[in-house]
């Protein structure tokens, strides 16, 4: 395993080509259980019938889809700067693009991600750096951000992962799937599904230069690690592995590496079908962890102990097929789930104990893969 800064490698295969295009439509209004109103956005895949970036408005009758912005296609992920309100949205395609938009979704700039099929992004704690994971080319791009204007400055720094795994269909090469800053922006972790690894890139917070790279964690061969979620208080992180359908509790070591403390399946013991794990999130109090299962079509709910250990509480139906990303809206007492294959944003009641109620089908949005406030 080596990682080297260099131009982005050639496209290995299309990530989206692995996803079926069957879309089932329909809608069932969801009931809101809180008084607050707001607005969200939903990103879609154009090749699966997605209409573009769709605003979601909270109404007394439920979440209502607004007029889509059809100029923003294949927005598979994005982040928003809290200080400026500027959004950084990824256009997941062979020649990956990063779109920078103001609060009114006016385009401020369009940049190459220097890789193929960008799928995840993260801002540093001070908003001065932006990182993007390019899935199919197995690379990570880092920009300096002008914290006044929110615009990227200069060319992105690029690190290309190398490595592979035993699953030849999914792990013939490196596939960066998640990025996140640590140590005040001096370290960038990158979870790589193809290389069965978490890499740690040392970054100069002022220039954005990638100084060095090390292996922060070696995942079990063939497990296909996908996303990482950090505990809000403990030196603990949780790694969801897409191919193995597991969640691993990791101790965060002082040097930024990780040590495994325990592994649990995200699926019921009796389940024997095909499924892949997707999104992972921890609630604000650090007492519950959630994972979406595509195939079993469920959200696994885990209790988090005082030491960070996990205990399975529940599998709740996702309200559709192919749950990819979900959004915890704790102040509203609900979870919204982007069900990619059935093309709907389902709503699940979030109980006071962190368990989930029965899902309502919610709002029909073909090809939905991303949700954000």
From edge to edge, which strands make up the β-sheet containing 288-294? 276-282, 288-294, 298-304, 310-317
Give per-residue pLDDT as tens, 319-335.
999 999 999 999 999 99
Give per-residue pLDDT as tens, 84-114.
999 999 999 999 999 999 999 999 999 999 9
Give per-residue pLDDT as tens, 23-60.
222 222 222 222 233 599 999 999 999 999 999 999 88
Angstrom distance (rounded) from CA 213 to CA 306: 32
**pTM (predicted TM-score):** 0.90
3-class SS shares of the chain: helix, strand, coil, % to 5? 5, 50, 45
Cβ partners under 8 Å of residue 350, min gap 6: 328, 329, 330, 332, 333, 334, 335, 356, 357
Cβ partners under 8 Å of residue 85, min gap 6: 102, 103
Instruction: Return phi, psi of residue 55, to 5°.
Output: -75, 145
Q: Residue 14 pLDDT more than 50? A: no
Region of poorest pLDDT, from 27-36, 94-103, 174-183, 195-204: 27-36
């Amino acid at each position: 395993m080596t990682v080297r800064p260099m131009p982005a490698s050639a496209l290995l295969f299309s990530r989206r080509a692995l996803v079926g295009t069957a879309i089932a439509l329909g809608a069932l209004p969801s009931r809101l259980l809180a008084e607050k109103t707001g607005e969200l956005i939903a990103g879609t895949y154009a090749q699966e019938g997605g209409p573009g970036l769709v605003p979601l408005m909270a109404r007394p009758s439920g979440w209502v889809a607004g007029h889509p912005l059809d100029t923003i296609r294949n927005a598979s992920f994005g982040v928003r700067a809290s200080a400026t309100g500027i959004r950084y949205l990824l256009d997941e395609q062979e020649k990956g693009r990063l779109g920078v938009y103001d609060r009114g979704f006016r385009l401020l700039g369009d940049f190459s991600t220097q890789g193929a099929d960008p799928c995840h992004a993260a801002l540093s704690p001070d908003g001065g750096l932006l990182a993007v994971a390019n899935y199919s080319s197995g690379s990570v791009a880092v920009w300096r951000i002008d914290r006044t204007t929110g615009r990227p400055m200069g060319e992105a720094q690029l690190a290309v992962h190398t490595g592979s795994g035993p699953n030849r269909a999914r792990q013939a090469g490196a596939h960066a799937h998640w990025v996140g800053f640590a140590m005040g922006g001096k370290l960038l972790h990158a979870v790589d599904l193809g290389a069965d690894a978490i890499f740690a890139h040392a970054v100069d917070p002022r220039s954005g230069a990638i100084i060095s790279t090390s292996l922060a964690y070696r995942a079990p061969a063939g497990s296909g690690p996908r996303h990482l979620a950090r505990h809000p208080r403990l030196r603990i992180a949780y790694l969801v592995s897409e191919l193995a359908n597991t969640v691993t509790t990791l101790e965060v070591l002082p040097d930024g590496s990780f040590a495994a403390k325990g592994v649990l399946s995200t699926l019921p013991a009796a389940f024997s079908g095909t499924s892949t794990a997707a999104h992972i999130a921890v609630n604000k109090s650090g007492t519950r962890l959630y994972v979406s299962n595509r195939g079993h079509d469920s959200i696994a709910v885990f209790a988090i102990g005082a030491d960070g250990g996990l205990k399975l509480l529940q599998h709740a139906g996702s309200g559709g097929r192919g749950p990819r990303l979900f959004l915890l809206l704790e102040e509203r007492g609900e979870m919204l789930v982007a069900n990619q294959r059935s093309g709907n944003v389902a709503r699940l009641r979030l109980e006071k104990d962190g368990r989930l109620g029965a899902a309502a089908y919610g709002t029909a949005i073909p090809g939905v893969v991303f949700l954000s406030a």
